[in-house]
Amino acid sequence: MGKSLVEHARSKLLYNELSTVYDLAAFHNTKREAAFLNNIVRRYCGKSIKILDLGCGVGRHVELLHRLYDHSVTGIDISRRMVALARRRCPGCSFRRMDIRKIRLAKRFDAAICMWTTFNYLSNKSDLNRFLDGVARVLSPSGIFILDLKNYSKKGAWCCYSRESADKNYRIRLFIEKKIIKRRINEAIYVYFIRDLRNNRKFLALDQELNKIYGLREVRSITRGRFKVLKVFGDYNTDSKYEARRSDRLILVMRNVNDKRR
Ligand SMILES: C[S@@+](CC[C@H](N)C(=O)[O-])C[C@H]1O[C@@H](n2cnc3c(N)ncnc32)[C@H](O)[C@@H]1O
């Protein structure tokens, strides 16, 4: 059995010492992502539902799904610091520090979401089986599972680039190099130049990202028997059909068909 990348995720600077600059460094469009998620769950589940965010990070989706769309949202994450930031960000929601491979929750959910590269840290059979069994168990019968991954089949996904961002506390200049280091493992090196604008201190940080690469066919085969794929999108937009060579994201909307629960 291959090595699990969860241990790597556990030690990543971005989810620990750098967690306070996660939003600024990651450059997401959270409003757009949350609007997309809300569209999907309304279409399949109804108006205000119970949602579980698997690997919720600092709670950016939890916050908007609750505050803008009135869903009752629970977030779980393995990182103590990410969970602490999420709790501060959305006091009206519930958070637990928990490994997504060992989900233990009494509540049942109408929908579960797993956003960005969280799933790509699950890199061996045992990780995947424990995770998918747990999700199937914690979802209500015929509950919806939205699994979002980067689309590594896109041409030119291997690259080197830089970006800058700032808020009232920090200015970040970030250099990123991404490449495949092994068959089906992507490595990204992140060099952060951070200036704390409150005291004009400067920091330099070097972080690594290791992800297991999954394609559509593989995800279909891994999830078969527990989930039925209803739709596949290529971006956070319900009009975006998934195209292997063009889409930025690979987003599967699945229905729970597993009934060996419970
Ligand atoms: C790329 S971040 C995504 C966070 C959030 N979903 C978002 O989109 O902002 C990945 C998150 O997964 C968490 N994570 C990684 N492996 C995990 C595991 N086995 N159990 C729970 N959380 C995990 C990390 O701590 C990190 O917060």
Ligand 1 pocket test target in 73, 78, 120 with most atoms within 8 Å of CB: 78
Q: Which atom of ligand 1 is nearest to the CA of 98?
A: 21
Given this model, what pLDDT does residue 259 score? 64
Given this model, what pLDDT does residue 1 score? 61
Residue nearest to atom 25 of ligand 1 (CA): 79
186-195: long-range contacts, CB 8 A cutoff, minimum separation 24: 186/120, 186/152, 186/210, 186/211, 186/212, 186/213, 190/14, 190/25, 192/18, 192/21, 192/25, 194/21, 194/170, 195/170, 195/171
Given this model, what pLDDT does residue 262 score? 46
Q: Report how far Cα 72 is from the mean position of its chain's Cα atoms.
A: 18
Q: Collect the ranges in the chain with pLDDT lower than 70.
A: 1, 157, 259-262
Residue nearest to atom 14 of ligand 1 (CA): 55
Q: How many CB atoms are closer than 10 A to CB 192? A: 20
Cβ(84) – ligand 1 distance below 6 Å: no
Q: Which atom of ligand 1 is nearest to the CA of 113?
A: 6
Give the pLDDT confidence of 22-65 residue by residue, as tens digits: 999 988 899 999 999 999 999 999 888 999 999 999 999 999 99
Residue nearest to atom 17 of ligand 1 (CA): 78
Q: Which atom of ligand 1 is nearest to the CA of 114?
A: 6
Given this model, what pLDDT does residue 175 score? 97
In this prediction the pTM is 0.96
Cβ(116) – ligand 1 distance below 6 Å: yes
Cβ(19) – ligand 1 distance below 6 Å: no
Distance 115 CA to ligand 1 centre (A): 8
Question: DSSP of 231-247, one letter per residue?
Answer: EEESSSSTT-B--TTT-
